[in-house]
Amino acid sequence: MLPPPSFDLPDLPQSVAAGMPVLRRAVAMNDVLHVETGRVALGLMEGDRLVHQLGTVEGPFWLEATSAVLSLSSAVDAVADTPVTLRRVPLATFTASLQALPSSAQAVLRDVARAHRQQTELAVSRLAKDAEARCAEWLLRHAEPAGEAGSLAVLLRERKRLIAAQLGIAPETLSRVLRHLREQSLISGSGRVVNLVDPSRLRSLAGV
């Protein structure tokens, strides 16, 4: 459902040497990149080096098209793993091509993009954050208004082992982290309801 590789691609391709950054996360996307040839590694960079790798993709491939569909910045860093040839399509041009699709196709594409983005963000979180930071981020993401104005709480609708699996940790680790967060007065409550006592400190812990 994405534009075919030949759609409005610039005549002149861009060559990127192996080891060079192709895309940086959390940076606004002005262009959507179509990798024609070569392999690109995806992950997290520190300085000018990819220190955590999620995987690789090979051309022909639309790089981080999910982010473009959702009008978001890239969720990952991308580095040329081999010499790469790519073409840049202005974001406005790419978006216009999607808007030409039937509305039903656009809805499906957005749903798929949202699901893919969520999985990518979870994978990035697992790479970059320890168990406490992941748990804090999960609590903040699932928090809902509760009780007094401004207060937040999380209703644990799933068993802890399923939540732990989402976070990539053992159930025992999740229980230990929740206990530690209670001891730090960041959360309170027991059973299926977790009250967020200090959301600002949880955000700091989660790095969001």
Same fold: 14-125 with 129-206: no
Dihedral sign of CA atoms 49, 127, 25, 10 in order: positive
For residues 137 and 75, what is the distance between their CA atoms, to the nearest angstrom?
A: 16
Whether 193 and 156 have beta carbons less than 8 Å apart is answered as yes
- Domain 129-206 annotated CATH 1.10.3720.10: no
Is 0.85 surpassed by the pTM of this model?
no
Highest mean pLDDT among 49-58, 109-118, 123-132, 149-158: 109-118
Is the per-residue pLDDT at 1 higher than 60?
A: no
- Tell me the average pLDDT of the chain: 87
Which pLDDT belongs to residue 73? 92
CATH code that applies to domain 14-125: 2.60.120.10
Domain ranges of the chain: 14-125, 129-206
pLDDT tens digits, 151-202:
899 999 888 888 887 787 788 888 999 999 999 999 998 788 999 999 999 9
